[in-house]
Amino acid sequence: MFYTKRQEIVQSVSHAALCCFGMLAGSLPLFAAAPEEITSFRRDVMPVLFRAGCNSGTCHGSARGKDGFMLSLFGYDPKGDYERIVHEMVGRRVNAAVPEQSLLLLKAIGAVPHTGGKLFARDSDYYKTILRWIAAGTPDDSGTVPETVKLVLSEERLVFGKAGLGTTLKATALASDGSTRDVTRLARYFSNNESVAKIDSDGRVVATGPGDTHVFARFSRFTTGVETIVLPSEAGFVRPNPQAFNFIDTLVFDKLQKLRIAPSELCDDATFLRRVTLDLAARPPTVEEFKAFTSDNRPDKRAMKVDSLLKDEAFASLWAAIWAEQLRVMGGNYAPVSTDVKAADAYYQWIRKQISVGRPLNEFVSEMVTASGSNLTNGPVNLYTMLVHKPQFEPKAFAADFSQLFLGVQIQCAECHNHPFDRWTMDDYYGFVSFFTGMKRKPGIEPRERRIYCDTTAAPARHLVDGRPMPAKVLGSIDPVKAGGDPRKDLAEWLTSPSNDLFSRNLANRIWAQLLGRGIVEPVDDVRASNPPVNGPLLDALSKRLVDSKFDLRTLVRDICNSRVYQLSVRPNPSNLRDTRQFSHAHLRRLRADVLLDSVVAVTGVPRRFSGFQEGTRAIEYYPRLSGSTEGPSHGDPFFATFGRSSRATVCACETKKEPTLSQTLHMAVGDTVRDRLDSGGVVKKLLESKTHPDQIVEILFVRVLCRQPTPSEKAAMRDLVGAAAGDQAVYEDILWSLLNSTEFAFNH
Amino acid sequence: MKNRCLQMASLPAVVFQAVALCLSLIWITPADAAMFLHIEKITPRMGQRGTTVEVIIQGACLNDPREIVFYKPGIKALRVESMPKLAHPIGLAHGGRIEDQVRCQFQIAPDCAPGEYPFRMRTATEVTSIGTFHVSPFPVVDENEKGYNSNDTIQTALAVVPNVTVRGRMGPSGRGDIDIYRVPAVAGQRLTAEVDSVRIADVHYGGSEYDLAIRILDETGQEMASNDDNSLHLQDPMAAVKLPRNGFAYVEVKRSIFVPDDREYCVHIGTNSRPLAVFPPGAQAGTTQKFRFMGDPLGEFTETVKVPSQTGTFDYYRDAPSPLSMRSSPYPNILEETDAIVTRVGQLPAALNGIINTREDTDTFGLSVKKGDRLRIRVFAATLGSPIDPVLRLRPVTVDGKPGPIEWEVDDSALPDRDIFGTSFRSRGGLKDILDPSVVWDVKTDGYYHLEIQDSSGSGGSTAVYRIEVEQAPDSVHTFLASTAFDWMECIRTSGLAVPRGNRWTVNVNVQQGQGNSYRGDLNLVAHGLPAGVRMVSSRIPAGRTFWPVQLVADDSAQPGSALITFEAKPVDATRPFESRSQQQIPFINHSGGDAWRTVKLDRYVLAITDPAPFSIEIQAPPVPLVRGGELAIPVKIKRRPGFNEAIEFQCDWIPAGVGIQPALIIPAGATEAVLKISGEANAPLGPCPMVVVASTIREGLDAYLGTGRVRVSSEIVNLMITEPFVELTSAPESVRRGAHQRYVWKVQHKSPFEGTAQVKLLGLPKGVNVVDPLPILSKDSREIAFDIEATGEALLGSVRGVSCEVIVRAGGQEIRQRTGSGTLRIDPK
């Protein structure tokens, strides 16, 4: 039996959907073939090939086909598929004289050897459909069949009270002529997490364990998902009522409520101070900051600290570092790649300035998108030199990276076929590429300079399948932008428009992920129908907040940091122990490589030099400056390679790695980063010279490194360790070494 | 490599500076041959006009200096004298070294225009590579910073009083050197700061260490103005503000990119005006007009300017240390009608002037033209320092008044299209002209056209001025001396004009057609400015030649001295209007491959009459022609002055395509004769052709190709006749069995007559195949010849291609060898 609450939800959603279909069905003809109608290749046969998996990537849909027979992946090229089935091997794949002897059928039913095995039975509807079509003379129906424009499932959300419960989804396709069709038996289904819910080939969903996931149906080029929640046992669960600090808490707790998960408690002041200082200023708090904050009794001191840190120039440096990674800012001296250090610095300084002055993020992006001119004097134009580090500008590679970066959408699959797990078609792809086919680089006045411009006479991209010129059009649009002039202006307007939620949700999600360690859509740059947000209303709200604040980064960061969700403890409770994606408690986050290095420097008081940069440069202000080409991946500094700073080889968010590794542990233990700084003895020496009491030195070191006082047991242990050697610098350096090598130091918690 | 100790304490101050400059470079021994220039360093780089400045010129081969020759009036060099050699030469990145020093006084005239003054030095035996010196309108003081970070803050700023030029140094500090200057501030007054760094750089190889940025700060450190690069001075920054209050303001100079290196710069700190653009950016030559000056912090102003009567680009300085560039043209101005969509141009030729006000702005001019018009349309925008990167577009206007499709669109120009030659550097050498379109339009039909101008860089704004000069395409040819050395380093061997008294010297002068030139005939060269006792020898330049040997002969009566000369190319048979200019471009701050940041542009050449050479060289015009496919041996004779017995190097520096020469040869010490062999390829140009041999002393340890430090002379120019080959021999494929004889027949086709008989040899036979004597004899009556060949039992089996004949004709007292034919011979088994 379904959970009662769910029934309400399902009923209401189903009702709305069915009403909609009912209206359409009442006014427009169905496009399912009536028995007396001629079987259609596109309408009837292609879906069978799709459903049976014939045109999947592992079978005949692979780029080279399979066993000598190729189909377009998931059917993006019906015309080509028709040619290959009917004309490529005349009389074999389809046999008009004896339709039953067509290889297409014999293979599918396993009557002859078939690598893919038996796909359906001789008495199945699938078999009959294809047989009818062959018997009718394999008619081609190019241009006569309405296109599918949407796929709708009978439920929008499923909530199961316990494992083992189930229901069946109905899939309905909407056609371009307004008609509808039940495609439940033609769609393909999958679940994002089968340990929560499974879905079979008939659309039957079965709950398998507590948690939340999505199940999906795919038909034609559409994938539609249903949020599926399987509730844990109610036994022992106490419904909490934590105070919501702002809208974020309301939306997160609402979701947790539905999942029977209680959020953790608030973290203590010291933990908050360290967390927010690392997150906003990319360093641990100083001893003075610790004392001031922990002794501050004002109720709004956390919000005030957030405000204070948001004004810190380090906030701009940190976010400039994040953007510079994503935008692949690197400088070299190999002129053909157009990424001279001077150009890279012009770009980096421009990015940093925009963050520093609080430039609205939509304007920030828009200026880059529409930029032209010198790579040396017009920083933002380096979007067109840095995003793809190549001697020649490559519109396709650029368009793919552009989409991934600014929309979180990976459209590159659609270069060769319609996107298998999203709505993007090849038309979308090539139309999008055409925004950049006119982008050119030309030599400038001096060797380091390249001038970027839009050649408005350049031809648009051509469709891979039929060579059609594809004028520039924004993703999801049917009509191209107006012809003539630089199309990037239209692109920028669409991209950064408040109404383009692809853009604002992408930004909001990335900002959230930066502060919470995980995106609401994760990975943050793989937004697709089959990878929906774990809390849609939350992402919508964050996106709206970003738009309402005129794309102000600090506003959203402030809201997030002021939320109770951000300030939750890492310590879980029984109900949220296994939650890894609904933000019911804080998660341990290894510090970014640059933040970790700056933290070591801040704690030890000994600076770190970076090749190509002047003394005093912080790690978060560093980007690779190379001698040579920037075409390859580069961390620029060995520390960054070890600790997973982005190599800038691609725009993928996965380039920034936060996983701990053995080499990191070894580097901190015996590498020169910590060792050299301890050897120079600055901090400990000063403390000893100031005649500070040994207990106090230990306390200062704890606060300095971990932003907390030692526990009584730690104090006792340290006292034993210091013992009679209270004046021995080496003992305190050992303590400092131990603290720096603790996971507590390397992680934000 | 041998390291040497640096005895800095014993060196004079200027040497200390040089040493400091080059600490990161290597020490070399004199045996390390590399790329040498004469002048490697000049200290100081700048002086105030109206003063006399002591200048130290350092480099190599500067012993026995005689004179400094400036290209422009305004500076005289007095008391040019040698200083002691450096005890330890300083090696430089390009391979040259500093070991010689010359001290002199530069007397700068009070009315000397600010800017760059290129010069060369005449020594007893040479004209040196280029050197430059700069002039400021302001008093010049030195920064004299202690260490590298002693004036990095407002608190430690060096106090200066405008108007002043500070000669500063950007040091190699790991913290990055910052130089801050404190200036008294008067509310409402203008404060201007301009840096000369790249523009005063005189190194061949360099990079971002020269790239500086500037800020003007108030007393709290708040930035009032800043600049890194700009369209007027490229990498050299400039900034100006209207001061908000009394007190102090601060000028901060630092590097754009951290490069821990030591380099000199100058910063001009003044109250002078600093307009960024002038409109219109030019006017009719010789007229006096009002111009709008825009971009100054105190606001736009107008001023009346007398336009020079000489046409071309001219500099207008007002009170500033750097100019605005303007155009003087022989035709009137048309100004953009800002309220009209199209500005109609009444009459051509004309100069069309406007401003690209916004990023989207397109200015349109309506032109009426006639079929057969040949118009050169040349934009001057970036060239003059405008921030835009213009694109020019032409559309015919249809009968209903609507603009039609684009007939042509032009963006950048190749430098030759801007009449700038000798700059085949990989990059554009800091020459902004390339951003401006220049096109020759052959009008095909009468009609009314729209000429549109746009900016492709999105830099439109109030100072984005442009000027389009539309005129009948002129006939023009440009002469220039181009360096052919690696990375376009100055090659004094091929482009220096030092003529020993009583001797002669020959250089190859490049000749290139200007954009739009329609004259295709022969040319004569005329030298202007030759000093007494010097004459030029140059035969008529056949049409199509792009370089030609030009000889300068100094009589015994010629007095040691120098002159600025030009070579003018004139049509041999035309009285038509014809333009010809001389030019030479010298790149600085180069990168591997010839990526120069800046170029010193010269419009004349320094010719020097040097001390008599200790030898002369002679060749005789060959009495027989060089045949295509043949070789010729030419005797070379050296006349030595008594007591001069050194070895001498000689070579041909001028050869037309298709004639092969030997590399440089050496006549041993004491010897007076040698032989030069030349060969004619199948494409050698037929007919007479000048030939000349140049010779020089040898100086070990210095790069021979550049030729620094050598005494050079040339032979007279003689005529070489190139003719068709005597005969052409062909054969059918032939075969021979091992152990057998075979008659190998070649058919003879006579091409050029010869007297007597010629011997013929067979070349390229495989191992084991021999010609049996007697060899065939060829006469003018021969129709075929035959060789008796035999193959031994060990002869290599199979087919051999490329068997040819060498024809040896005796004429004019020497053997003329010609190769001809390409046969195939197969060796079969027994």
Contact A457 B406 (CB under 8 A): yes
**What is the arithmetic mean of pLDDT over B124-138?**
97
User: Which one-letter DSSP state was computed for residue A512?
Assistant: H
Give me the residue from A341, A372, A457 closest to B457, CB to CB: A372
Report residue B486 as tokens: 């690696």
Contact B427 A447 (CB under 8 A): yes
**pLDDT, position A731:** 92
B105 by Cβ neighbours in 10 Å (0-12 / 13-18 / 19+) ranks as middle
Would you tell me how many other CB atoms lie within 10 Å of the CB of residue A99?
19
**What residues pair up with A451 in beta bridges, in sequence order?**
A374, A442
When scoring B235, B257, B423 by the number of chain A Cβ atoms within 10 A, the one with the most, hence best to mutate, is B257
**pLDDT, position A642:** 96
**What residues pair up with B238 in beta bridges, in sequence order?**
B194
Closest Cα in chain A to B229: A377
pLDDT digits (tens, 9 = 90+) for B514-549: 999 999 999 999 999 999 999 999 999 999 999 999
Average pLDDT value for chain B = 91
Contact B595 A444 (CB under 8 A): no
B804: nearest Cα among B772, B761, B773, B774? B761
Residue B594 pLDDT exceeds 90: no
pTM assigned to the model: 0.88
CB A684 within 8 A of CB A727: no
How wide is the angle at C-alpha B408 spanned by C-alphas B407 and B409, nearest 5°?
140
SS3 A677: helix
Contact A446 B234 (CB under 8 A): yes
pLDDT digits (tens, 9 = 90+) for B680-703: 988 899 999 999 999 999 988 887
CB B43 within 8 A of CB B65: no
**pLDDT, position A374:** 96
- Chain position carrying tokens 């020079």: B308
Rounded-to-integer distance, Cα B596 and Cα B587, Å: 6
- On chain A, the residues whose CB falls within 8 A of the CB of B431 are 445
Report residue B102 as tokens: 């010359």
Nearest CA-CA distance, residue B295 and chain A, Å:
18
**pLDDT, position A36:** 56
A510: nearest Cα among A347, A327, A350? A327
Contact B389 A454 (CB under 8 A): no
pLDDT digits (tens, 9 = 90+) for B368-380: 999 999 999 999 9
Contact A445 B258 (CB under 8 A): no
Rounded-to-integer distance, Cα A226 and Cα B532, Å: 99
Phi, psi at residue A430, to the nearest 5°? Answer: -70, -35
**pLDDT, position B29:** 37
B485: nearest Cα among B316, B318, B659, B703? B703
In the chain, the amino acid numbered B672 is T
**pLDDT, position B816:** 83
- Report the percentage of chain B scoring pLDDT > 90: 78
pLDDT digits (tens, 9 = 90+) for B810-825: 877 777 888 899 999 9
User: Which one-letter DSSP state was computed for residue B486?
Assistant: G
Q: In what order do the strands lie in the sheet with B374-380?
A: B333-335, B350-355, B465-472, B374-380, B438-442
CB neighbours of A664 closer than 8 A, spacing ≥ 6? A642, A643, A746
Phi, psi at residue B548, to the nearest 5°? Answer: -155, 140
In B662-756, DSSP assigns E strands to: 665-667, 673-680, 687-691, 694-697, 712-714, 718-723, 727-730, 734-737, 741-750
- Report the percentage of chain B scoring pLDDT > 70: 96
**pLDDT, position B574:** 66
When scoring A445, A448, A455 by the number of chain B Cβ atoms within 10 A, the one with the most, hence best to mutate, is A445
**pLDDT, position B682:** 85
Phi, psi at residue B8, to the nearest 5°? Answer: -70, -35
When scoring A440, A446, A627 by the number of chain B Cβ atoms within 10 A, the one with the most, hence best to mutate, is A446
- On chain B, the residues whose CB falls within 8 A of the CB of A456 are none
A–B: how many Cβ contacts below 8 A? Answer: 86
Would you tell me how many other CB atoms lie within 10 Å of the CB of residue B308?
13
**What residues pair up with B83 in beta bridges, in sequence order?**
B101
**pLDDT, position B27:** 33
Is the omega angle on the peptide bond into residue B163 within 30 degrees of 0, that is, cis? Answer: yes
- On chain A, the residues whose CB falls within 8 A of the CB of B435 are 445, 451
**What is the arithmetic mean of pLDDT over B1-25?**
35
Contact B456 A333 (CB under 8 A): no
**What is the arithmetic mean of pLDDT over B375-388?**
98
Rounded-to-integer distance, Cα B611 and Cα B320, Å: 43
**What is the arithmetic mean of pLDDT over B773-781?**
89
pLDDT digits (tens, 9 = 90+) for B704-734: 788 899 999 999 999 999 988 889 999 999 9
Residue B72 pLDDT exceeds 80: yes
Contact B591 A443 (CB under 8 A): no
Nearest CA-CA distance, residue A443 and chain B, Å:
7
In the chain, the amino acid numbered B782 is S
SS3 B270: strand
Residues of chain A with pLDDT under 70: 1-37, 420
In the chain, the amino acid numbered B613 is A
Nearest CA-CA distance, residue A286 and chain B, Å:
24
A344: nearest Cα among A362, A359, A325, A317? A325
Give me the residue from A457, A612, A614 closest to B409, CB to CB: A457
